[in-house]
Structure 1
């Protein structure tokens, strides 16, 4: 099992008024003042005063509005700071003893998923941990893509990464960029915007569908790639921690790959048995 550590990054929302930030989050979620007031059980008048800066929200009000607006924990801390309160959600290092139980659970998931690949990524798609089978996917990638902080999107789509071995690169590109765009829309994270700008600039010699229309029998977008002379086909599932109260945990995601056909499953099991 491999462990990768990367630098933390801060968003650039410091200095903005809490009312302006709350209004931006409400507009981003396409929720009216009336609807938010009803769900958060606050008067529309008071909410309007908070957004315009005529009233200072209490600490509990900031947290309540952040929850109802589904604001990421990192940004809820920024809302609190903008309102003059201390952050309440910790951002622990991955090796923090406080995260020991969660870290052990993640590693059990990764190890138990062998011989199929599984990765853990942070909010920026940086590779945090991976099981040994992930080497089947990253094999042949340029060293600069694998260190110092591997990024799974860059590895997947870069012409010196997995891309030359991906049989359905156009489909995969559309799926990954679509996921990243939705993440940008949900979080407004400027670092994700930079990542999106970079990876969509990578070349692709296949048509990239604007709208994914499944062909007969398809129920997911597969990852199809060559490993030597063997064609492998995978689908994946994504798991996150339920109700996390730590920024680091809230931003972790486990993506587990499963064989999409019997030939891929048999091939991976043989590799494991012969290792």
Structure 2
């Protein structure tokens, strides 16, 4: 089964062919895309068939309208004879200072609910104090909260997945999401192939909640969380585009009470 997660084989395609594929994936006609970008339909047709070479500005406008992944955008620029336009800056680089500041603000604002920052390989790049408090409550290493891989700790025995009351449900959701992402991410595909596959879909009850809850078995009772994600709008850097902040929002009064107490205890400096 893991063999199917190998990255798709790549083939050399012209810039026009790649644009046409992206446009069709977006379910847009040439006229639709022309109206969105201000590029004439005739010129767009010539670009797609290779009869005209687009300028870098035209390529940028088309690709942004198509919401193409930045790695794919670089491929189109290369195929058109231009240098790749979008870089992947290290998160600690000076150019991403505002990004780091925004991340820190969002993480702090989410307390007393846990929140983590994930990279393209599901690695935890940062976590707030409530995440460490939750780990401490479960008896997991507190200093590991921002040094782990979420996919690994969910799927491998001995990690956070062992504390989930609906472990197979969460593991299946995580596996499916990562599998989709791995189709365009060779490094993630390699990681996923090394991890155990969930045993199968969980049994469904007759009542469906509005969304899948993360249900944790803690010493203070069952904790239930809603999961939401924050991403950066209009990214022009591959690193920024890959970042997502997962918020675990308590779904009931008990979970709020437990997390509030755990977070407040974490703020007390040991004497």
Q: TM-score range by the shorter chain?
A: 0.7 to 0.9
Contact 1:141–1:160 (8 Å) recurs in 2: no
Alignment partners' CA distance in 2, 1:107 and 1:214 = 41
Alignment partners' CA distance in 2, 1:178 and 1:267 = 31
Alignment partners' CA distance in 1, 2:145 and 2:187 = 19
Q: Cα deviation per residue 1:79-116 (whole Å; 9 max; x = unaligned)?
A: 22221223333422111112112212211222332332
The reply on whether 1:215 has 2:210 as its aligned counterpart is: no
Contact 1:13–1:78 (8 Å) recurs in 2: no
- Alpha-carbon RMSD: 3.4
Distance 1:59 1:128, change over 3 A: same
- SS of the equivalent of 1:242 reads coil
Alignment partners' CA distance in 2, 1:67 and 1:260 = 36
Counterpart of 2:53 in structure 1 is 56
TM-score by length of 2: 0.77
The reply on whether 1:133 has 2:127 as its aligned counterpart is: no
Distance 1:214 1:68, change over 3 A: farther
Distance 1:18 1:149, change over 3 A: farther
1:129 offset after TM fit, Å? Answer: 0.9
Structure 1 residue runs of 5 or longer lacking an equivalent are: 1-10
| Aligned pair partner of 2:100 in 86, 89, 103 | 103
Structure 2 counterparts to residues 219-238 of structure 1, below 5 A? 219-228=210-219, 230-238=221-229
Counterpart of 2:240 in structure 1 is 249
TM-score by length of 1: 0.76
| Aligned pair partner of 1:263 in 251, 254, 261 | 254
Structure 2 counterparts to residues 1-275 of structure 1, below 5 A? 16-135=13-132, 136-137=134-135, 150-180=148-178, 183=181, 188-193=184-189, 202-204=197-199, 207-208=201-202, 215=207, 218-228=209-219, 230-275=221-266
1:149 offset after TM fit, Å? Answer: 6.8
Q: Which moved more, 1:30-39 or 1:80-89?
A: 30-39
- SS of the equivalent of 2:113 reads coil
Distance 1:194 1:214, change over 3 A: farther
Structure 2 residue runs of 5 or longer lacking an equivalent are: 1-7, 267-271
Distance 1:42 1:214, change over 3 A: farther
1:60 offset after TM fit, Å? Answer: 1.6
Counterpart of 2:4 in structure 1 is none
Give the number of equivalent residue pairs.
255
